[in-house]
Structure 1
């Protein structure tokens, strides 16, 4: 019998003028977007991208979801990660520095790789500056299909985060919070805020991927923007 993924999300605006993060979910697919900038245009771009991405059937694959997000964003820009149930686990697509982690109840394993200037130079053994971690090399508006990040995992529990969470908390700190909290998404965001996050900080925690592509009921659309 198929199981419906359970998921929870939470967000904190930090010291920004607006919260430009957005979360959407439909038919078992979940997307998290982070608007580029601190204005309503960025927030709207994130909302459009996340909503379009989850409107694509999981069977079409993550690149199709990212294509749909790109078509939807006509003003502003954002970075995005989308998780689609597949074969008892998930297929994941992303652009920019939003992240997806596999969670086994003890440890986090990062599944995505940041599309940032810092990661680009680190991969080549070059020195990086703190500022480079905040400069993305792909985004919903600018990325070509060949530059999409895609992967898949057999993990049935995922954690999705914007950089306000994972650039404030270490993976070890995040795992500690997840192990101890009854509401892990809310706890991650609170911990990031307590640790000094100034950026928007949003987390999504998913558990129980369905074992087939059978359509699932559409969730109401929660948005942080």
Structure 2
């Protein structure tokens, strides 16, 4: 098993009453790999924040060998067990020798980055994306209406992808709906504090939501040669 990656996180409450974003990361002692999870509560309410914290914790502590979709399903069981109406969206990344398995619901995102390029690997489960996929016009409101969530998604509706090399960026929509990919890439290229700077920049540029990011650095070998950085 390769050495666990270097990673860092940051989260801040935007112009909301509650910060309903949450993160989790867990590597079992003596185990293989690590699980990263980022959840974004649906709505500005304590129940949404509780659901997000519950989902992120349950997903992160699901056994690595079961994979990313199983981690999302573990989060779903935990959120449903809360009762009430709290809900969230979620993105999970499971690191093993083969790279990262990614799974998600809603509009939480994962990006692959290798030190000089950044590429979105998730596809938003939103009404806006559904209409785009069917060649229909989109209104701004549709960007904020999710079509899957942790509480409601069927197993067949959970998105999945793989990333075999490099590092990762996981974000709530308070980051990626405010910052473009080139801006995110420029910040990722900073030597220290990229997660905190992504969050700070998103809020300072007028983001209207909570902002949260997990940055998982690429292996050092990927950063050895300076290349032209491109947002894909």
Correspondence for 2:39: 33
Q: CA deviation at 1:180?
A: 2.7
* 1:125 matched to 2:126: no
1:62 to 65, 68, 79: 68
CA distance in 1, matches of 2:217, 2:116: 14
Q: Answer 1 or 2: higher relative contact order, Cα 8 Å, separation at least 6.
A: 1
- Report how many aligned residue pairs link the two structures: 209
* 1:8 matched to 2:18: no
1:48 to 54, 58, 74: 54
Flag structure 1 segments of 5+ consecutive residues without an equivalent. 210-225
Indicate if the aligned counterparts of 2:115 and 2:218 stay in contact, CA closer than 8 A: no
Correspondence for 1:213: none
Flag structure 2 segments of 5+ consecutive residues without an equivalent. 28-33, 220-232
1:139 to 145, 149, 165: 149
CA distance in 2, matches of 1:202, 1:137: 21
2:170 to 160, 173, 176: 160
Q: CA deviation at 1:207?
A: 2.4
Q: Matches of residues 183-194 of structure 1 in structure 2 within 5 Å?
A: 183-194=193-204
Structure 1 residues 43-79: Cα deviation after superposition (integer angstroms, max 9, x where no partner): 0000000111011111101111111101001331000
CA distance in 2, matches of 1:60, 1:133: 32
* 1:71 matched to 2:71: no
Deviating above 6 A after TM superposition, structure 1's stretches of 4 or more consecutive aligned residues are none
Q: Which secondary structure does the structure 2 equivalent of 1:180 belong to?
A: coil
Q: Which secondary structure does the structure 1 equivalent of 2:189 belong to?
A: helix
